[in-house]
Amino acid sequence: MKFPAIAGLLLCVALGLSPAWAGRPCDDPKPLTPQTLERSMTLALRTSQALDTSGADVVLLARAGQDLSKYKVHYSHLGFVYREVQADGSSVWRVLHKLNQCGTAESAIYKQGLGEFFLDDLWRYEAAWVIPTPEVQKALLPLLRNTPQAVRLHVKDYNMLSYPWATRYQQSNQWAIETLAMAVAPIAGEGAAAREKAQAWLRLRDYQPTVLNLDAFTRLGARVTRANVAFDDHPDDKRYSGRIETVTVDSVFDWMRRSQLTTTGIVTLQ
């Protein structure tokens, strides 16, 4: 398995602007330092080596871009990692994930290498992944390699705290779990109708979103100061009581274990 160089790692597969972030604060980006570069590339290399020996073709990979411990959430951002076969017969690991255009309410789907995925000012230099069952991997792999199909459920209107059972917005982890549903379940159609079917399948399989307890002051401050946070897609009774449901990495990993979509548990690497 070759480890990809930094140059040429990023390929935007849906129109969007840079810089793009997900799972970390959308503040002024810090300058890239040699220490950050070294730590990110070391984590990417060790992750690549671990995936090489895993026997998997597809995993769901998480990073910790910001401190969410006060919400009892460990990981902030989720992406699909899959083997991409090169012309010479070798393969490299690619990451397909959704990123928010920093400071805006828009997003795009990106295909990157592992180096780019971790090349960020991470809260913790830690990787975590779950390996789907062989049947789920078999369903996901051709979809992830087919860009038009992989981005079918993508909605550019981004909301960091989007409601899991609505289609007005879509955050990064929500795109990932809906795309997993589309791969595993027979879902026809495009746009909101297809997303509704994916969400219905997730409900049927007992996916449980994370509930964040946010008081009115916190909600107002987030809505006023950040373009990528909204609450108007949440049901009024839940919104006004401060019970904000959203898709987190932790809830996806827990659901996959409960639903027997993975048999390996969570693998962590620091």
What pLDDT does residue 1 have? 46
d(CA 208, CA 262): 16
Cβ-based neighbours of 133, under 8 Å, separated by 6 or more: 260, 261, 262, 263
Residue 138: pLDDT above 70? Answer: yes
Give per-residue pLDDT as tens, 72-91: 888 989 999 999 988 888 88
d(CA 153, CA 135): 21
Q: For the beta carbon of residue 146, count every other beta carbon within 10 angstroms.
A: 11
DSSP-based helix, strand, coil % in the chain, nearest 5: 35, 20, 45
Across 135-156, average pLDDT: 95
Average pLDDT, the chain: 84
Q: Are 107 and 98 in contact (CB under 8 A)?
A: yes
Q: Which residues pair with 96 in a beta bridge?
A: 80, 111
Q: Where are the domains of the chain?
A: 11-269
pTM of the model: 0.86
